[in-house]
């Protein structure tokens, strides 16, 4: 349990830092609005991972569930940030009504962004639903 909590906190701080560094790159990206989305996502997801890591020891999760859920959470949130950062770099705006600004890129680059977004969103949603179903406070 303690290892999962430490992993969540460490990966949260690292993702927060990546978000801050991402912020410096916003003006240089092909799609600055997508860059802003990637920056905000990294900072917010990093904060969430830190909070989850601090909460983790208070949850009565079986060790196998604890590790699986923690790893799924941090990996899926990193993939989400990566997908948005790549969208900003490539100008892959399809499916992003506001941030995409109607930008287009090659079909392969857009497919990569879409696949990463779908994978990360589904994985994170499953992990959070499982966490809620398994939620038990440690006495």
Give the span between the Cα atoms of 93 and 95, in whole angstroms: 6
Give the tokens for residue 71: 């790893």
Residue 22 pLDDT grade (very low, low, confident, very high; cuts 50, 70, 90): very high
- Cα separation of 26 and 47, whole Å? 20
Predicted local distance difference test score (pLDDT) of residue 91: 84
pLDDT digits (tens, 9 = 90+) for 25-83: 999 998 899 899 999 999 999 999 999 999 999 888 888 899 999 999 999 999 999 99
Report the pLDDT averaged over residues 124-139.
85
**pLDDT for position 127:** 95
Signed CA dihedral, 68, 69, 73, 79: sign only: positive
Q: Average pLDDT over the chain, rounded to whole?
A: 89
CA pair distance 65, 1, nearest whole angstrom = 9
Q: What's residue 25's pLDDT?
A: 95
Whether residue 137 contacts residue 58, with contact meaning beta carbons closer than 8 Å, is answered with yes
What are the pLDDT digits (tens) for 86-127?
A: 999 998 766 665 555 566 667 888 889 989 999 999 999 999
Q: Per the structure block, which two tokens stand in for 76? A: 């899926």
What is the pLDDT at residue 102? 65
Which tokens in the block code for residue 14? Answer: 């690292």
Domain locations in the chain as residue ranges: 2-134
């Amino acid at each position: 349990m303690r290892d999962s909590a430490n992993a969540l906190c460490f990966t949260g701080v690292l993702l927060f830092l990546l978000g801050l560094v991402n912020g410096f790159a916003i003006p240089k990206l092909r799609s600055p609005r997508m860059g802003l989305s990637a920056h905000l996502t990294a900072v917010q997801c990093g904060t969430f991972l830190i909070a989850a890591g601090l909460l983790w020891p208070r949850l009565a999760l079986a060790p196998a569930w604890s590790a699986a859920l923690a790893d799924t959470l941090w990996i899926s949130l990193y993939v989400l940030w990566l997908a948005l950062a790549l969208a900003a770099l490539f100008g892959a705006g399809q499916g992003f009504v506001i941030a995409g600004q109607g930008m287009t890129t090659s079909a392969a680059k857009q497919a990569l962004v879409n696949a990463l977004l779908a994978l990360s969103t589904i994985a994170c949603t499953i992990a959070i639903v499982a966490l809620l179903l398994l939620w038990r406070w440690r006495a």
